[in-house]
Structure 1
Amino acid sequence: MNTENPWIATPLTADLFRGAIELERTDHGLLPHRLPARARAQHNDGQLAMAEAQPSGVRLAFRTRATAVELDTLPTKRVYAGTPPRPDGVYDLLVDGRLARQGTVPGGHLVTIDMATGSATTVPGSPGTLRFTGLPDSAKNIEIWLPHDETTELVALRTDAPLEPAPAAGRPVWLHHGSSISHGSDAASPSATWPAHAARIGRAELINLGLSGSALLDPFTARTLRDTPADVISVKIGINLVNTDVMRLRAFTSAVHGFLDTIRDGHPGAPLLVVSPILCPIHEDTPGPTAFDLDALATGALRFRATGEPTERAVGKLTLNVVREELSRLVGERAVDDPQLHYLDGRDLYGEPDVAELPLPDDLHPDAATHRLIGERFAARVFSPTGPFRPART
């Protein structure tokens, strides 16, 4: 820290945030949300409540000459009974778009989840401090990406030089919705989730509505997408519908139409991309629901298994191949009257040729290297000069 200047405290205000849908004032500070209060009031799902409050894609963005930055936060960490402790959530600090520092905040609230019963217990904790020092002594844009998998209340921000909100980058806003894979499960850090990586390559401003376990075609999610300003939009549909076994093919078809209709009400002419699931061998032709592999859990490993039967496809149960076939057909028919509606087969992002080299560690989620691969492939196909998002970039 510059010893000639004391720490300067800057109030945490909305103009310092990017990627959040709403900021809630709490007893400690600000809690970023990725669904608005109206949507949060329309469900009683603890999984969704946890997912939308985890700030995947949310970052502070400001311009400063500061060489040192402090951020006080109150994290909520979670552990799963019977498995090794999860590492603390990672904060990424980017200087002029490049990763420069990483850090964690110890302590905070601790939630212990019993996967066998679904119960959870919480032990309250206290805020901690994240400190970055030795930054370049020059005017620069700083982004601090909050942990994508750890609920984070922001308490205070201090620097050793004045700061101001980062100027608008003039880039298209990319609004994306998907499952835990889009949320960032098993990614190395918040700026390394596949959507964050793709956005960086495609030079887009990301709003990530990847909601772990909760990409279920909920009407309140569609309305959130409808009401959020964006230049380009993508929705990744399928895996959560299969692994929750929440609907049959008849309901799926009309639900997708309704979801897309609602988005179009707010974004009638924006490029809109429907992405089907990446390859997941346990569910390609076997319906859900998905369950924890209790034998693996007994050894301290976290793995998943499909509990349906392939023959149940005949009675309308969803598999990933069923979902892909129906999405491809449905989007193709709608695109006749909606030329800005596009389809991408998720197996183009991660498919059969990738399984041997990059298997899914828990049989459901990609690892850090695969997040990078998916992000690169998405950017190459979607943000390319011939891709569906190119007109907005131009």
Structure 2
Amino acid sequence: MTLTTTRPTPDLLHGAAEVETTARGLRPQRLPAWVGRQFPDGQLLAMAAQPSGVRLALTTTATVLEVDVHPLRMAFRGVHRARGALDLVVDGVLVASDVLTGGDALVTDLSTGATALEPGEPHTARFALPAGASTVEVWLPHNESVEVLALRADAPVRAAAPRGRRWVHHGSSISQGSNAATPAGTWPAVAARLGGVDLRNLGFGGSALVDPFTARVIRDTPADLISVKLGINVVNLDGMRLRTFVPAVHGFLDTIRDGHPTTPLVLVSPLFCGIHEDAPGPGSIDPSSFATGQARFAANDDGARTHGRLTLRVIRDAMASLVERRSDDPHLHLLDGLDLYGEADARTHPLPDALHPDAATHQVVGERFARWAFGAGGPFAG
């Protein structure tokens, strides 16, 4: 069998803000470059370079497809972190997954803070495709940056059209997919497949902080459906007080409405997280968990509840009141995060690191969001 090599082009990549041309290939970015120039925060830019929700989308009659990528992952010495993966979705159905090997690693020693780059080799994924014409998506890893180097197939590949209505979602590491097993298994990806929509994932680990530049990105992004999930990062950073949080969310929504005045817009409050339900932040990794190989998070709570310090319960109440006060916006909807993952769920599906859902829970959350949003009478129905 003869495979023909194709150099990737930006039109093959869906779900990215921009596509950077590197010496080796193409690196998708989930935020436009102007954000990094305005606010060059290392955490935010590292998360934006991890292509959660970004996929190669093509049509082909090929029966074999190979994809060469060069990963760059963030790792912690002595702590296990699952590798990223490439997922194959054919005509809307997840059919295969290939776990990444090789690539470069930026390794941090949590006890000293020292970081070193460990180089590695590219990774090749080989997928078997069904006979006949297909719409094929290769979902790039949600938790590792990658450069797409080359495609090889036994028939021509062409860029596919976007799949359905355009859904833009913003949230934290949970929305980006932390602790999901594969990129098509993050809860927004699950919900997008069930809803038959074209996902643009703006979930950024540690960085759903009601940033005005993120609101501007959403304002300027073509969208038929928008959702914004806020709260957990504001608490675990201890980044705001109630007095500043509520006006900031109003401003965030006002900016989105400048570009999307009547687009269905869902504001999602935080999922249940026991360590921050009643304890303010900041939160951090518990040092005693380093030796276990499974990092766990904890709230650094000093017991103070004064001056409007935020907990998840306070934020949920504030967001509900905020939506009521915006009753002049008939296209704004509130989804209580506890309806996606509540206290009872924490007993049956505990958070493995005390902060992020596991792979099975991502599936549950995605299914619940899809039923609520895309189901009959839901704000995204139709």
Relative to the length of structure 2, the TM-score reads: 0.97
Q: Which runs of 5+ in 1 are unaligned?
A: none
1:188 aligns with 2:181: yes
Structure 1: distance between partners of 2:82 and 2:285: 21
Q: Does the CA-based 8 Å contact 2:77-2:110 persist in structure 1?
A: yes
Q: Which amino acid aligns with 1:93?
A: L
1:373 aligns with 2:355: no
Aligned pair count reads 382
Q: Does the CA-based 8 Å contact 1:313-1:319 persist in structure 2?
A: no
SS of residue in 1 equivalent to 2:305: helix
Q: Which runs of 5+ in 2 are unaligned?
A: none
1:285-316 per-position Cα deviation (integer Å, ceiling 9, x unaligned)? 10000011111112322101001234x33212
- Matching residue within 50, 56, 65 for 2:52: 56
SS of residue in 1 equivalent to 2:38: coil
1:303 aligns with 2:296: yes
Q: Does the CA-based 8 Å contact 1:73-1:105 persist in structure 2?
A: no
- Matching residue within 78, 84, 94 for 1:89: 84
SS of residue in 2 equivalent to 1:73: strand
Structure 2: distance between partners of 1:341 and 1:118: 43
Structure 2: distance between partners of 1:87 and 1:301: 11
Aligned positions of 1:120-159 closer than 5 A: 120-133=115-128, 135-159=129-153
Q: Which amino acid aligns with 1:143?
A: E
Structure 2: distance between partners of 1:248 and 1:288: 11
Structure 1: distance between partners of 2:207 and 2:109: 19
Aligned identity (percent) is: 54
1:144-182 per-position Cα deviation (integer Å, ceiling 9, x unaligned)? 00111010111111111011112343x111100000000
The match for 2:204 is 211
The match for 2:313 is 321
1:234-261 per-position Cα deviation (integer Å, ceiling 9, x unaligned)? 0000000000111111111111111111
1:219-245 per-position Cα deviation (integer Å, ceiling 9, x unaligned)? 111111111100010000000000011
Q: Which amino acid aligns with 1:160?
A: D
- Matching residue within 52, 65, 73 for 1:69: 65
The match for 1:28 is 24
1:344 aligns with 2:335: yes
SS of residue in 2 equivalent to 1:41: helix
Q: RMSD of the alignment, in Å?
A: 1.3
Relative to the length of structure 1, the TM-score reads: 0.94
SS of residue in 2 equivalent to 1:327: helix
1:94 shift after superposition: 1.2
